[in-house]
Amino acid sequence: MKYKGYEISLEESAGKFTLYVDSDEYFSSTNLIEVRNVVDKLAKKTFKRIPAYILGCVSYNYGDTPDPTYTEVEITSISPNDSIWIIDKKKNRSKNRYERKLYKRNAKNLTTLKDIQKDQNEITAIEKKIENSTKKLESIKLPKKEEE
């Protein structure tokens, strides 16, 4: 059987599970959970971190609001249950689903993110201006309806 890309075999006569790394026997146990835990540790060590940008920040629910800020993060691991772990420069960690919006960390995306931030700041300023103008409008006071 394969688990996280590693081969685990069962020697039925001995009731033993053996983990192979690069076709060499690496670890054996009669407890499959124990063997899988070793694989989990190996998989974590071999994962190469992926630099990325996200909209918002790690320490709150980002990506679902029109927050103009962006944060540099690293994807530190990917779990088999469709989750990813990310960390920012301040060591804030977050576990998220794959569908979260993560963007390649490169010059083109940085320029685009700065444009988004600038546009969102303009939108916020216009919304505030409209809100202030709306407060200046004179409302109609409707007379109370007489009871019949």
pLDDT digits (tens, 9 = 90+) for 37-57: 888 888 777 778 899 998 776
Reading the block at residue 118, the tokens are 């600038």
Say whether both 12 and 75 belong to one domain: no
Residue at 116 is within a domain: yes
Q: Output the CA–CA distances (angstroms, integers) from residue 105 to 7, 96, 139, in the order listed.
A: 34, 18, 50
The domain in which residue 6 lies consists of 2-46
Q: pLDDT band for position 59 (50/70/90)? A: low
Say whether both 15 and 79 belong to one domain: no
What is the total count of domains within the chain?
2
Say whether both 42 and 73 belong to one domain: no
**In this predicted model, what pLDDT tens digit does every residue of 122-144 receive, in sequence order?**
999 999 999 999 999 999 988 88
DSSP 40-57: HHHHHHHPPPEEEEEES-
Residue at 67 is within a domain: yes
Say whether both 82 and 119 belong to one domain: yes
Residue at 119 is within a domain: yes
Say whether both 121 and 76 belong to one domain: yes
Reading the block at residue 128, the tokens are 């505030």
Query: pTM of the full predicted structure?
Result: 0.56
Say whether both 40 and 64 belong to one domain: no
Residue at 113 is within a domain: yes
Q: pLDDT band for position 108 (50/70/90)? A: very high
Q: Output the CA–CA distances (angstroms, integers) from residue 68 to 41, 99, 110, 116, 146, in the order listed.
A: 37, 19, 13, 6, 51
Say whether both 23 and 92 belong to one domain: no
Q: pLDDT band for position 3 (50/70/90)? A: confident
Say whether both 86 and 33 belong to one domain: no
Provide the mean pLDDT of the chain. 83
Say whether both 110 and 56 belong to one domain: yes
Say whether both 34 and 98 belong to one domain: no
Say whether both 90 and 104 belong to one domain: yes
Say whether both 42 and 108 belong to one domain: no
C-alpha torsion angle, residues 33, 30, 46, 22 (rounded to 10): -150
Torsion angles phi and psi, residue 132, rounded to 5: -65, -40
Reading the block at residue 78, the tokens are 């990917």
C-alpha–C-alpha distance, residues 13 and 11, integer Å: 6
